[in-house]
């Protein structure tokens, strides 16, 4: 992976690396910015706003953010794949992103994109798991920068 043309280009291209890094941050912002309010709604906030109004906006924004963050993150990883693969915070981040993604996919597969027929208990459980996964991944991602 480190010897790929794109990884080699990113290692020597100040602006190329910066652009991919910015795309990763934008993806994270879209993902977390959509996931948190949707999960808070499932936990009981903004009861006056129907889930049917939030889901068509927030679910695609979160999915787009996830796709962008994963694609850009993979490119960033490729620059120093061997070194980065040994960082515990990155390993935990990958597990949390995988768990958060699978949890959301399974929930939406079971109840549809609007989660219309999901029980309140199921929604609360998912929301707590989702918040733990995404906020944990966010923290682990920042901690990567502080590892020697």
Tens-digit pLDDT profile for residues 73-116:
999 999 999 999 999 999 999 999 999 999 999 999 999 888 88
Better-predicted residue by pLDDT, 46 or 68? 68
pLDDT on residue 148: 66
Dig out the tokens for 51 from the structure: 């889930």
- Selection from 53, 51, 40, 47 nearest residue 118 by Cα: 51
Q: Residues near 71 by Cβ (< 8 Å), separated by ≥ 6?
A: 23, 27
Mean pLDDT in residue range 22-26: 97
pLDDT on residue 112: 86
115 close to 55: Cβ distance less than 8 angstroms? yes
**What percent of the chain clears pLDDT 90, i.e. is strictly above it?**
81
Q: What is the number of domains present in the chain?
A: 1
**How many CA atoms does the CB half-sphere of 65 hold within 13 Å?**
21
Which strand (E) or helix (H) includes residue 112?
Answer: none
Name the residue range of residue 123's domain. 5-144
80 close to 73: Cβ distance less than 8 angstroms? no
Strand residue runs (E) in 78-118:
none
Q: Give percent helix, percent strand, percent coil of the chain, each to the nearest 5.
A: 80, 0, 20
Q: Return mean pLDDT, the chain.
A: 94
């Amino acid at each position: 992976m480190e010897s790929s043309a794109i990884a080699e280009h990113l290692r020597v291209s100040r602006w190329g690396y910066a652009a991919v890094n910015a795309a990763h941050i934008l993806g994270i912002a879209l993902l977390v910015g959509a996931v948190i309010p949707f999960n808070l709604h499932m936990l009981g906030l903004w009861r006056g706003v129907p889930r049917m109004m939030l889901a068509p906006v927030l679910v695609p924004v979160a999915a787009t953010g996830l796709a962008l963050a994963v694609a850009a993150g993979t490119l960033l990883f490729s620059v120093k794949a061997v070194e980065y693969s040994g960082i515990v915070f990155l390993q935990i981040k990958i597990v949390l992103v995988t768990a958060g993604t699978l949890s959301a996919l399974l929930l939406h597969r079971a109840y549809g994109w609007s989660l219309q027929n999901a029980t309140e208990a199921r929604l609360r459980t998912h929301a707590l798991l989702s918040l733990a996964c995404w906020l944990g991944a966010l923290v682990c991602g920042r901690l990567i920068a502080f590892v020697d």
